[in-house]
Amino acid sequence: MEISNEIKIDLVKTRAKSFWSKVKHLDDEDACWTWQSYRSSDGYGHFTVGRYERNDRNTNIKVRAHQAAFILSFGYLPAVVRHLCDNPPCCNPKHLIAGNHASNVADRVSRNRSAIAEKNGRAKLSVEQVLYIKKNPEKSAEALARECGVTRRAISLIRSGKNWRSVS
């Protein structure tokens, strides 16, 4: 049994008080408001909004805490709820924005956490450094290697377009 978003949204809305009691509100309206209850290993908070029986066992219906905060603040659930603060357990609606998958990825790249680069073992260089290397063609590979703390070969692989082609 799959619980639809509509049902989850309704369940969240009826549990607003319970939800906000699990969020650490700071006097500072611009600070991160951290989820104080269950978090998964990726850092996102989970809010249990109900349960249903499956194969004679009770299964919790959960909504990610930042998504619940978005629902309670803006009344709907977009495909992706992004954190402007890059802090997964944060529930401050000022730090949340509706996005789609593409904008989420663009966000991550601009914040220097390119998943592609990490997967390929090229995380030694930051995106900013790669851009710097590409924008300084007059500098020698040796100088850039020294500045960025990598080998000359790493610089020439970028210059020849073999590595980091997607960054420009």
For residues 68 to 97, the per-residue mask of contacts with Zn ion, x marking binding by CB under 5 A and - elsewhere, is: -----------------x-x--x-x--x--
- The residue count for the chain: 168
Q: Which of residues 20-59 bind Zn ion (CB under 5 A)?
A: 32
Report in angstroms how near the CB of residue 140 gets to Zn ion at its nearest.
42
Report in angstroms how near the CB of residue 115 gets to Zn ion at its nearest.
21
Our CA angle for 50, 52, 53, nearest 5°, is 155
- In this structure, is the dihedral angle defined by the CA atoms of residues 168, 107, 40 and 78, taken in order, positive or negative? negative
Nearer to Zn ion, 32 or 167 (CB): 32
# residues near Zn ion by CB under 5 A: 6
- In this structure, is the dihedral angle defined by the CA atoms of residues 90, 91, 94 and 98, taken in order, positive or negative? positive
Report in angstroms how near the CB of residue 92 gets to Zn ion at its nearest.
5
Nearer to Zn ion, 87 or 126 (CB): 87
What does each C-alpha distance from 84 to 16, 107, 156, 163, 164 come to in angstroms?
A: 23, 9, 35, 29, 25
Task: Please report, as ranges, the residues that interact with Zn ion according to CB under 5 A.
Answer: 32, 85, 87, 90, 92, 95
